[in-house]
Amino acid sequence: MIIDVHAHYHPRAYNSAVSSFAENGGVANAGGMGRHPDTDDEADIARRLEMMADADVAMQVLSPAARRAPYSRDQAAAVTAARLVNDASASLVQLYPEQFKSFVSVPMPHVAASVAELKRGMDDLGMIGLNLHISALGRSVAEDEFLPLYEELDRRKGILFYHPCGDGIQSPMINDYGFSGAVGTSMEDAAIVLHLIAKKIPAQFPNITFIVPHLGGPIPMLLDRLDNQYSMQDHDLPEPPSVTARRFYYDTVGHGSHAGLTAAWKAFGADHVLPGSDFPVLLSFESYRETFSWIRDVEIPAGDIEQILERTAPAVLAPKA
């Protein structure tokens, strides 16, 4: 059975809470993502569970999608939204403990409040790690002001799942051409890997398990170039960039790209690739079952396919001693 580490959940009250966050780009639709079952409506939950059973998905790990993070300059509003989504997610997990787990969402960029919510989410609500969107109001979440979150998570030997915020890396060369979703999100994935390398965060916080979505964007194709042109000697790194990049885990959301999954498998190894769906985003293009079934058709050894689909995620999610 499959554990889907990248699945979105947007309770209706939470959608309403973040819909006014202009810094997030707003949420144009206070209901589901299009016609898809991402809310806490009873019918949406039932449909989600049906899709999971059909796709042989044993569990989803929940977090908000791009432009739905509880990030706002208004600290009180951000805290209210973060608590709302965490409480609602914890309630769903309590109802279906075998089918769902959740990452903690935090009220960025307010660091003390975010650390407090991380503690509450993990200690009181039983959540399994932290979700950070890749930037918070224009600041990379790898910046020094956010290090207290990493310190707290490192102390707990926790999981950190990143997600694009949907700003197209703030580039007019992406956004002005309408590529914020098609390309910008992959550039965000690459950016957080690069920022973690540059800031030496994995070396500072070796007990954190890092998960990057969407196969890492273009990172699988850049490892040798990074070693040559962003060398450890020139930038006082503790190890070559490719070594740091291979410490992370990457989910399989690739819109069915055999070339993309093959590149990630070759770059990182099957034991660092794990299932993700971006639920319910890809339902606009394929069934939930197809989001995983295509992986078995990729020209990768069968044992490695089984590692990716069945074994990597349970190992990553297992409690650390």
Tell me which amino acid residue 23 is.
Answer: E
Q: Distance (Å, rounded) from C-alpha 112 to C-alpha 117?
A: 9
Reported confidence tier of residue 29, pLDDT bands at 50, 70, 90: very low
Tell me how far CA of residue 321 lies from CA of 157, 206, 308, in angstroms. Answer: 8, 14, 23
110 token code pair: 């307010």
Instruction: Decide: residue 204, CB within 10 A, 0-12 exposed, 13-18 middle, 19+ buried.
Output: middle
Residue 28: what pLDDT? Answer: 44
239 token code pair: 């190890």
Residue 20: what pLDDT? Answer: 83
Q: How many domains does the chain have?
A: 1
Give the mean pLDDT of the chain.
Answer: 95
The label of the residue with tokens 């490892």 reads 223
Q: Which of the residue ranges 28-42, 229-243, 298-312 would you say has the lowest mean pLDDT?
A: 28-42
Q: Distance (Å, rounded) from C-alpha 52 to C-alpha 33?
A: 18
Task: Supply the CATH number for residue 69's domain.
Answer: 3.20.20.140
pLDDT at 27 over 60: no
Prediction pTM value: 0.96
Reported confidence tier of residue 320, pLDDT bands at 50, 70, 90: confident
105 token code pair: 């969402």
Reference 42, options 95, 79, 104; nearest CA is 95
Residue 22: what pLDDT? Answer: 66
pLDDT at 23 over 90: no
Q: Identify the residue with better confidence: 22 or 201.
A: 201
What are the pLDDT digits (tens) for 244-260? Answer: 999 999 999 999 999 99
The label of the residue with tokens 């040798």 reads 224
By residue range, what is the domain housing residue 8? 2-317
Average pLDDT over residues 260-275: 98
